């Protein structure tokens, strides 16, 4: 099947969630819930989007992720190139090394035309346009979200320090006790 990879699909879903919260930094757990993407996988996807200049990150208080520019200026072609790499759409429809080496397979002229059409179409589609055509990104999405969180969203809540939540202290641990949990020096 010819199409965008699942990683690119997850990236687009995450970008849609961020597009619906303009200018605000969003916690990774909120994005995971909104886009219904597994948190460990989303961390990797957002790292690629950040390196590619599509999202900005901020650590600490009121940190998270947000779009680096307006969603109307982020095309699906750009997302695919950032996530999958510049050669995301195969040079040869049949996957023959001969096409890549300069010799043409029987589908070379057809595939060349179709590749250009696909790339042109994905340059016309923006994150904003896709966002308007999708009812909502998932159970935790800011726009049109279901008030009942999914089981995955419940598991994600508080599951990641990186996402902004602080895990509970283990029973009997010295975290949070007066004096920092160590004896006083010099006494």
140-184 tens-digit pLDDT: 555 444 323 344 444 443 443 344 433 333 444 333 333 344 444
Question: Could you tell me the residue range of the domain that residue 17 belongs to?
Answer: 6-88+127-161
Note whether 131 and 13 are within 8 A (CB): no
Residue 187 lies in a domain: no
Number of domains making up the chain: 1
Q: Does the structure show a pLDDT above 70 at 68?
A: yes
Residue 69 lies in a domain: yes
Strands 64-67 and 55-58: antiparallel
Residue 174 lies in a domain: no
Residue 46 lies in a domain: yes
Residue 67 lies in a domain: yes
Residue 102 lies in a domain: no
Residue 108 lies in a domain: no
42-57 per-position pLDDT tens digit: 999 999 999 999 999 9
Cα(145)–Cα(101) distance, integer angstroms: 49
Place of tokens 């947000």: 66
Residue 105 lies in a domain: no
**Residues 6+ away with beta carbon under 8 Å from 170:** none
Which of 29-33, 99-103, 180-184 has the least mean pLDDT? 180-184
For the record, the structure tokens of 53 come out as 């200049």
**Residues 6+ away with beta carbon under 8 Å from 39:** 28, 29, 32, 156, 159, 160, 163
Q: Does the structure show a pLDDT above 90 at 93?
A: no
Question: Coil, strand, or helix at residue 43?
Answer: helix
CATH (domain of 37): 1.10.10.10
The confidence band for 98, taking pLDDT boundaries of 50, 70 and 90, is low
């Amino acid at each position: 099947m010819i199409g965008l990879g699942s990683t690119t699909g997850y990236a687009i879903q995450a970008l849609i969630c961020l597009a619906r919260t303009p200018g605000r930094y969003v916690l990774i757990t909120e994005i995971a819930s909104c886009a219904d993407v597994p948190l460990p996988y989303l961390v990797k996807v957002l790292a690629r989007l950040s390196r590619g200049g599509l999202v900005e990150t901020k650590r600490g208080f009121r940190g998270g992720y947000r779009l680096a520019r307006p969603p109307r200026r982020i095309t699906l072609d750009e997302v695919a190139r950032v996530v999958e790499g510049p050669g995301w759409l195969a040079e040869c429809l049949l996957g023959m090394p001969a096409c890549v080496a300069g010799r043409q397979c029987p589908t070379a002229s057809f595939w060349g035309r179709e590749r250009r059409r696909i790339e042109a179409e994905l340059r016309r589609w923006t994150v904003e346009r896709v966002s308007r055509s999708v009812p909502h990104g998932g159970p935790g999405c800011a726009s049109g979200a279901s008030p009942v969180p999914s089981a995955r969203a419940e598991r994600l809540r508080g599951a990641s320090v990186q996402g902004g939540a602080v895990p509970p202290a283990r029973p009997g641990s010295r975290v949070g006790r007066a004096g920092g949990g160590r004896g006083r020096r010099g006494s």
